[in-house]
Structure 1
């Protein structure tokens, strides 16, 4: 804590600072580096694990690796209490896994597949919710969050920053932006728009960093799709979402009917 405060960085960033060796013994430093690598590996797995089945397997394996069940049993005198706590942990794993999506359901004869989220996306959402809950009545603060983590939440005023091509929709240098990926990015944009209860501000960058270079910022294609120039009538986001779901269901039903013919 003292070292990170002195160098004005987070405690996790301080773990890998070259100067940290001057403040700690080699044994202590090795232990901290091992902890940092473990956290980075866990973050990587959480970022690249999507969908209910994969998320459940990843979290269950992680709990097994760290021996959490044995930890609860060893530190609780009452076996029934320890098993009850372990049961709560497994319930929480199920809860997180379900929110990673990928489950198939059917409604009105039309099959749906829940959009997939990564374990990291769900964890970030939980973090934001807990942060808001801890504030209590003191809500006059700025919340910095990602689009994924903001799903299901709302604020009176929302600012979407840096809505540029390459960022939203996101595109890696070497990867092709497929129609499916573009549609998923469009849904993400809609998530951001509908987080606002009263006002929404959207900004773009004139220039942005791309690797080590600075390139001209191109406004996202999604801004043109919003058709803000056509009028200022504001449609209720919930009604618009309901309408979009009905349109998607109708298109899906039409495709099924066409395939049956």
Structure 2
């Protein structure tokens, strides 16, 4: 591969593409020679400056490239912090540490936050609450396991490992629709492992989600629309529900409109007062 970068002509790579490969080869050779002359921070910042990656991302007007800009800065800052602890380290030392570092290495029970990890890396650990995601046939268990008994059993053992990491409660999550590898959405089928758990140990929690839109400003000052899907409620209201409001007291839902964060309810309270409220802010409580 390195020979092709140096001389792409035999591979019939010519013109602008060929010139780009030759330039890339020279860049690799140059910084390989600088490895022994510059420390990790100097080498990384010199490379970033020469290729102009920060300037490129800063000129863009989309959120994805703004995130990439922040990611490059984060890498440079991480190298600086690594050097503060080990002033004489090389870029190779930094890369070696990063390749071995996982969330588990920095996890401790004194801090209250969510730790993300694979099922394999969770072995031997326990947590009060565990969330297992992607529990769909074809994902967990993997598609290849559906026709291979031995692989299916290994997947089932992994599921057992994940399930038993929980000390108090475990949430089992699956998607009814999922987009994979940029392809069209396909219907998700709950994992057979979930269905194998006796119902008396399960509680089904239904919820709704909605697309939310937010106007944001990029680093260059451009205005963009940021869209994301959020869970809006775990307990949908319906007409006829008895509810309680902190100020207006008890009432009955007479009308519903909208959905998600924009859902509104019309409530007739006991004293004859009628109010239209936005569910997101009203903090209504159902009365059984």
Report the TM-score range of the alignment, normalised by the length of the smaller protein.
0.3 to 0.5
Which structure: greater strand fraction? 2
Q: Look at both structures and tell me which one has the larger radius of gyration over its CA atoms.
A: 2
Superposition TM-score, scaled by structure 2 size: 0.35
Superposition TM-score, scaled by structure 1 size: 0.38
Which structure: greater helix fraction? 1
